[in-house]
Amino acid sequence: MTRQIIVGNWKMNGLSRDSQELVKAITSGLPANSADVVVCPPFTQLGLLTDMLKPTPVKLGAQDCHQEVSGAHTGDISAPMLADLGVSYVVLGHSERRQEHGELDETVREKAMAATKAGLTPIVCIGETEDQRETGEHFDALGWQIKGSLPDGFNGILAYEPIWAIGTGLAATTDQIAETMKFLREELVRQFGEAGKVIKILYGGSVNAGNAATILPIPEVAGALVGGASLKADAFLSIVSAASAA
């Protein structure tokens, strides 16, 4: 079995002092034989944290990148710029980016290609709305997002986050997660052939210290994309420990 990976998405949280203290607490508290760990702070903290993380097993991730290498894109950050800072992973297509910034599958696909070209590992997010799940359209929605958001030859990570569970404190049930993970694996194999068998799939959506030990052992779950709980060292480390034991 491959080691699970726990990715902390800090979202728009973290000033310098708090970010340094959080990283110190996480790196000093990692369990033996830990799962792989990635922290994704805001852009403003990447330069500060890269040197802190170099001597540790924790990898640095970003929360987005632009699809172009450079140019007249005020306020944007390119994948090569992230790589230049020592970033290894980048979260793309999060539902908050899709909803608040109007990102389309095509845009996410282009960003994933740019990230891969720059040597970063893209973590591409997909997820259904509450209406789509209630009307039974969730699998169609997820299948189309995979087709539209993942480029040919994709060798990054897929993160499944039901939109209705993000930040609500309500995670999907184990049966819902198991059923969806089975579908996602079958869909990846259908679209990518043999390569689809090895693409890691993370679960996200209100993962916390209380439910991680139940979610992470579910078949096809290769780790978690963690939001709010990643801002508290104790909670995040509990999730890492659950992954290490899964």
Q: By C-alpha distance, which of 238, 234, 227 is closest to 13?
A: 227
Q: Which of the residues are catalytic?
A: 94, 161
Residue type, 242: A
Specify binding-site residues.
9-11, 167, 206, 227-228
- Would you list the DSSP string of 189-206? HHHHGGGGGT-EEEEESS
What SS3 state is found at 241?
Answer: helix
Which residues are registered as beta bridge partners of 89?
61, 121
- Would you list the DSSP string of 133-159? HHTT-HHHHHHHHHHHHSPTT--SEEE
Strand 223-226 versus strand 59-62 pairing type: unpaired
- Residue pair 9/227 in contact (Cβ under 8 Å)? The answer is yes
Residue type, 120: L
Specify binding-site residues for substrate.
9-11, 167, 206, 227-228
* C-alpha distances in Å from residue 133, one per residue of 69, 74, 84, 176: 37, 37, 40, 10
The burial class, CB within 10 Å (0-12 / 13-18 / 19+), for 149 is buried
